[in-house]
Amino acid sequence: MIFSRVRLDPASREVWHWVRHASALHGALWRAFPGVHHDSPNARARIRLLHRVEVNRSAQEIVLYAQAEPVPRWDTLPVLGTPQIRNVDAIHENIRAGDELAFRLCVHPRVHRQQWRTAVSPTEREPVGAPVVCARAYACRGVGAIAWLKSRCERFGFTFDPESVVTIDERHEKIKGEPHATTRFDGRLRVLDAEAFRAALQNGVGPRKAYGCGLLTVAAARTP
């Protein structure tokens, strides 16, 4: 797996458009992979492309973190300086159960809840005016987002202390008519299952990976 840290040019209007619109960045990233037919089914999953953008407005710094199997061509995007690119396979292979790591993760923490509404069309299963049950997706924020990750983390091979995690509610927009809200987690985790955790590092966590969610990055945890 190839991991990249890329400083995007804050003087570029196009870059700020990407910051505001996750779907626009989703399309622009394919420039860095000219050999990939991105219109083919599951193209992103096949090259395991994950990304995240972090913006420091006070420093006018916009950093793109990306991970994929092919080596990207970042000179096709408006960048500053030389991107930092490295192969992280050996780092992933050295992770063991019991390791404690600092982590950062941006996700779209959504849940589906059932609710009642009234049938409004004769094409529905129930007569017009009859009560029907439907499922709606809701984005979790704050403690709700922490609960969302806590309820799912073990399937990805790790656990964490909710008291040690800081959350930042970041993006809120609509993509294809659906709400797209993201939360960033910064904290410390403990690896429970090294194989499942490596799969999470390589394949991402949660939904909306095409729009900047799911990239799990880790580093050695500082000793308290």
Same domain for 179 and 83, yes or no, is no
Same domain for 129 and 105, yes or no, is yes
Same domain for 38 and 124, yes or no, is no
Q: Token pair 């199997």 is at which residue?
A: 69
Same domain for 32 and 66, yes or no, is yes
188-217 per-position pLDDT tens digit: 999 999 999 999 999 999 888 988 999 999
Whether residue 130 is contained in a domain is answered as: yes
- For residue 185, give the nearest of 74, 121, 109 by alpha carbon: 109
Could you list the residue range(s) of the whole structural domain that residue 24 is in? 2-87
Domain boundary among 30, 53, 87: 87
Domain boundary among 87, 114, 137: 87
Same domain for 109 and 216, yes or no, is yes
22-78 per-position pLDDT tens digit: 889 988 999 999 888 777 777 877 889 999 999 988 878 999 999 999 899 999 999
Domain boundary among 64, 87, 110: 87
- 3-class DSSP assignment, residue 9: coil
Q: Check residue 43 and give its pLDDT.
A: 80
CA distances from 11 to 8, 78, 79 (A): 9, 9, 10
Number of domains in the chain: 2
Would you say 7 and 80 are in contact if contact means Cβ atoms under 8 Å apart? yes
| Dist CA 178 CA 162 (whole Å) | 29
| Dist CA 205 CA 197 (whole Å) | 10
Same domain for 184 and 127, yes or no, is yes
Residues 6+ apart with CB under 8 A from 159: 153, 189, 190, 192
Same domain for 138 and 176, yes or no, is yes
- 3-class DSSP assignment, residue 86: strand
Quote the Cα angle for 45-197-62, to 5°. Answer: 60
